[in-house]
A and B are shown apart, each in its own frame.
Chain A
Amino acid sequence: MKFSGTMIELGCIRQFALVIGSLARLAKLCVLRITRTHLYFIINEPGTVHRAPGLWAELDQGHYFSTVTMSGVSEEHNEIFLEFEPDKLSGTLSVFKSNNAAVRNLKIKLAKKLSPCLTLEMQMPSFSEHARTVVHDVPVLPLPRRQWHLYQEPEMPHFTASIYLPPLKKLRHVVERMKNLSSSLTLAANRKGTLVLSVTSDAANVSTYFRNLTMPTWDLEGAASQMDEEQLHSATVEIKKLISFLAGEQIGPCKVICNIVDDRMVHLFLLHDDVILQYFLPAARSS
């Protein structure tokens, strides 16, 4: 089992740090799956049926790393699964979140020190000839093959409405205000580009309408397309969880798709040039 990769571009390193940062906000434990071409970060929502993932992030190695060497558990199963605490990894990378961070390169490798570790070596710029190197070790737990099946790619849910979200910053502000009114929020969308966020409490009912949003075109729709276009499809989710996802705006996604499975789930799909983040929010209760 071997893995080592070097990042030299500051933009990539920063992006990587932001992705890990948003993982840290979402969960205490996270699984890193390394294949020949990609890195996957997987968070399993505790308590869900079949341990369906709460988050699935896909990073293209070719984009992030200038050089990668990787060999999996065996020839046949050329993959590595590691469990780690994203908070710890995020802490080591936190220096890169600021805009004036400087680093020559960042090398990530799987090492066996006292225990298995992800070792991060950062070459810091220096004015003298002697390079400064900072090394962080983040403990990891390699997962045995019998557990791998728990972390397979999630299936696309059979959603009833799908819509591109308005700018996350704006959305986040609305959701944060709503959080102070209630603990659960209903997301509803129709096929005419309307998205409705609403909360109900003893003191007030509040609904925010975003209109004329664009909608992604999916070719996997069947009979569903015959439904009334005005009909709103909704699911009620915990506001706290939605907020922690919306904090992902830092990644600067090109597009965020929101898929709603009536009363069951909200599936958020964050697309960026080199990161794909999928977030599965189970419905808190039917509205």
Chain B
Amino acid sequence: MSIHPEEEREINDGHFRAKTDNVKNILQILKTMNFRDQANVVLSPSGIKVTVENAKCAQANAFIESDLFQEYEIEEEMVIFKLNLTSWIECLNIFGGGTAGAATPSLKMVYRGHGYPLVLELEEDGVVTDCEIKTEEPEDTLDFDFFSTEVMNKIIMRSECLKEVFTDLDVTSEMVEILMSPDAPYFRVSTFGNYGTSQTEISMESEMVEHFECKQTLKQRYRLSLLKPSIKPLTAALKVSVRMDARGFLCLQFMIRTESHHICFIEYFCCPEEEDSDD
């Protein structure tokens, strides 16, 4: 074990390097995605995309745009690898994101290419932490093929509204039914638990609803366990867009404002449950 002087630590042939003054921005986004240990990371000139999948039926994507960083350089068009998201978060949080008023830790990330670890260098008040997060071959991720042309129904609302609905879902219910319709009841979330059925409706006239665009009445059931992880990004979000395509696939898109007032998006896809008797 030895200490490297500052100059030696500079890696010049990095394929990817990014720097930010405030690690909290990224940490805030990644923390909402941590419902699985493993994540696929895609580095590209536009930013960093992090993908986490749940049982091949649900998928969360976070986009951290390059302008969130003060410095952002990448040589290649696209680099993909897999890493342990939990460890990544623990490393970014090593100084606790700075207490209120105090200086926030700064972050430098370097990735030299296939087979190399993702190197993080965090600094706060002269205390430096070096992390090497091992990278693995990326896993194939699902393509939900969710083009906006196929989207039948779309509602954009303030997140508080949906947050309350989602956090109060009856945990004894295996399924959650979501109905979106151009006519009343417009938007309805139902559960079928041991103690009864519960329904929550949000009208298109609600003050919480900012945009309402439904072409067709669609009713689909989703596994509660698959939908549950979306509560975390929902809690952090300002607004949420709920979209459903003709196949019944659900896409929740969360708009999150970071500490330094950048806007980031997280998408959450969820497959519908196939049912024998369709009505």
- The residues of B with any CB-CB pair to A shorter than 8 Å are 1-3, 83-84, 86-88, 90-91, 93-96, 117, 126-134
Contacts and interface: CB of A to CB of B under 8 A. Distances in A.
Interface in A145-198: 166, 170, 173-174, 177-178, 180-181, 186, 188, 190, 194, 196, 198
Nearest to B123: A209
B129 A205 contact: no
A204 B133 contact: yes
B84 A209 contact: no
A264 B85 CA distance: 34
Contacts of A211: 126-128
Residues of A in contact with B, size category: 20 to 34
Given A203-B84, A208-B127, A177 B132 contact: no
Contacts, number: 82
Contacts of A177: 90-91, 93-94, 96
A208 B2 contact: no
A37 interface: no
Taking chain A's interface residues, is the majority helix, strand, or loop, or is none over half, making it mixed?
mixed
B90 A181 contact: yes
Contacts of A232: 1-3
Contacts of A181: 87, 90-91
Interface of A: 166, 170, 173-174, 177-178, 180-181, 186, 188, 190, 194, 196, 198, 201-212, 230, 232, 234, 287
Given A177-B90, A177-B94, A203-B84, A208 B126 contact: no
B191 to A, nearest CB: 33
A50 B209 CA distance: 72
Given A181-B90, A211-B126, A205 B1 contact: no
B131 A206 contact: yes
A230 B3 CA distance: 8
A62 to B, nearest CB: 38
Contacts of B133: 203-204
B91 A208 contact: no
Contacts of A173: 94-96
Given A173-B96, A208-B127, A234 B91 contact: no
